Chains A and B, each alone.
Chain A
Amino acid sequence: MSEKFDVIVVGAGPAGTSCAYECAKAGLNVIQIERGEYPGAKNVMGGVLYRKQMEDIIPEFWKEAPVERPVIEQRLMMLDKESAITIGYKGLEFAREPYNAFTVLRSKFDQWFASKAVEQGSLLITETVVLEVIVEDGRVIGVRTDRPDGDVYADVVVLADGVNSLLGKQLGFHKELRPDEVALAVMEVINLPAERIEERFNLEPNQGCTYEIFGDGTNGILGTAFIYTNKESINIGVGAMLSGMIRERLRPHDLLDRLKSHPLIRPLIKGGEPQEYLAHLIPEGGFRSIPKIVGNGVLVVGDAAQFVNGVHREGSNMAMTSGRLAAETIIMAKEAGDFSENMLDSYRIKVLDSFIGKDLKKYEDIHLFEKNPQYFKEYLPALNRAASEFFTVDGTPKKEKQKKMLQLMTQSKSKLKVINDLYKAWRVMK
């Protein structure tokens, strides 16, 4: 296999495949190496794929891609032990072309997407681990795989090797990740007939709904639980900061089981049959955790570059855009015959100038919620109690009710402390 390619892409998730697709389409000689039995075999996502960034690569992909349901309604649930405040938006504009987002099952989707890159001329090699990046004279010149005679060479190596990015670490692009830089997510795919899903979630066929659940779903630690509707199944899961799980000695699968048996969640999945259990890490370090993403002959894309916006549950879209921007840079570098860090740095600039850099920058202080558990642990239940008070008609004059609600919100804390906390939260989110 000791051939020379224009581009080696390590990993066949959305970032790697976007890059391989665009490079192959431009006529470059591309090899994409995937360690799984097939693309998607090692990949996990809660399940929402945004249309725009995918369509930047393959127009009208939904006409042939294995998508589950267009997402037409999104609900946010602030969950307490036996109550919830839910807000949501449902819009039929999302049920029509060009759509906004789809639920997907990643094993199916990633296989399809990688096959499109192959159609463009990219060579896909599966069941092959890239053990290390080959560096010569301070320049990345290829990769060493676990195949016999498995060295492969190229002008550029693209690291799309996922959240753990052992290769980025090998190059010294990032240090070992810390527990407060990753969320551990576990989920189950639960089969349920389409009609049941549509009745329970108030949907027509080919319409989908998503729930993001804060508070009790993660036992009050920073993270979210989620429920996404597929065609004939539901993805239900919990993702929370690994640091929080460690601090509180939580078993991730216990969190999932608690969610599944929560009295407000249970009716949504009742009668379903679990089909698969999955665990994965999500890079949630945000802007400050972005590693070095460009070197001589090498670029880093997707989860490996920590491109995830946890607040808006965006990740695969950032992966795709980063893969596409990497490809743009590689095509330009090929024309110039220059693969130096200096040349490839235009990728970094493009990424930081795109929604990826801007959105990650916007939420760079999100860890306030990890360091201050009172938000999820105290204010969220207090909001629920205040709402309960608001909706209980018991002859108490409204003015007194308002006073009581305020007391419920502040409880043992001074009003000043609460106002200060709310101000800090607003600063992070604004």
Chain B
Amino acid sequence: MSKLDTTLEEKQYLTRFKADTKSHLTVLDYDICATKCPDKLCTIFCPAEVYKWEGTRMQVGYEGCHECGSCRIGCPYQNIKWEYPTGGLGIVFRLA
């Protein structure tokens, strides 16, 4: 694999994050993910794979969030409370 090809993990490693101490993303009702949402769409379309289904519960790795808003809009159950991280924290784009 050349340097040009990057896994998502490597992509995320290129980008600067200043993690907040608390999550700005909140799953409102974990039961909905477990019982009503077989496809768990957020685990697919999130560009940073912030959402990971760990067998029984949705894990939210907010530290790698690009703050794009897709999860809030794309969750079929409007089950994600989406806020901004504390001022100055979260993703810090250095280039584009």
Contacts and interface: CB of A to CB of B under 8 A. Distances in A.
A261 interface: yes
A32 B22 CA distance: 26
Contacts of B14: 188, 274-277
Given A127-B87, A184-B47, A107 B11 contact: no
Interface stretch (A38-46, A288-296, A356-364): A38-46
A274 B96 contact: no
A188 B6 contact: yes
Interface in A280-294: 280-281
A323 to B, nearest CB: 21
A36 interface: yes
Interface in A23-69: 35-37, 40-47
A187 B96 contact: yes
Contact of A189 (B68, B74, B96): B96
A47 to B, nearest CB: 6
Interface in B1-57: 2-6, 8, 10-12, 14-15, 18, 39, 41, 44-45, 47-49
Contacts of A40: 93
Contacts of A260: 4-5
Interface in A44-98: 44-47
A271 B5 CA distance: 10
A425 interface: no
A184 B45 CA distance: 9
A406 interface: no
A276 B92 CA distance: 11
A303 B67 CA distance: 15
Contact of A107 (B3, B86, B96): B96
Contacts of B18: 37
- How many chain B residues sit at the interface, stated as a range, is 35 or more
Interface residues of A, number: 62
A166 B84 CA distance: 9
Given A177-B73, A276-B95, A280-B68, A146 B87 contact: yes
A422 B89 CA distance: 49
A107 B4 contact: no
Contacts of B59: none
Contact of A278 (B44, B66, B72): B66
Given A184-B70, A279-B48, A105 B78 contact: no
Given A246-B45, A253-B47, A281 B88 contact: no
Contacts, number: 149
Contacts of B67: 42
Interface centre among B47, B85, B88 (most CB of A within 10 A): B47
B45 A250 contact: yes
Interface string A101-135: 00001111000000000000000001111000000
B82 to A, nearest CB: 8
A40 B94 CA distance: 8
A182 interface: yes
B73 A179 contact: yes
Interface centre among B10, B85, B94 (most CB of A within 10 A): B94
Contacts of A233: 95
Nearest to A271: B4
B69 interface: yes
Contacts of B12: 277
B91 interface: yes
A360 to B, nearest CB: 20
Contacts of B8: 253
Given A242-B45, A278-B66, A279-B47, A36 B92 contact: yes
Contacts of A378: none
Nearest to B48: A279
A257 interface: yes
B44 A250 contact: yes
Contacts of B10: 274
Contacts of B82: 164
A418 B69 CA distance: 37
Interface in A192-226: none
Interface centre among B39, B87, B94 (most CB of A within 10 A): B87
Given A107-B95, A246-B41, A277-B14, 11 more contacts: A36-B88, A37-B18, A129-B87, A166-B84, A242-B73, A246-B45, A249-B41, A251-B44, A271-B2, A278-B93, A281-B70
12 contacts: A35-B84, A35-B88, A42-B90, A107-B95, A126-B87, A126-B88, A179-B73, A182-B69, A188-B6, A251-B44, A253-B47, A274-B6
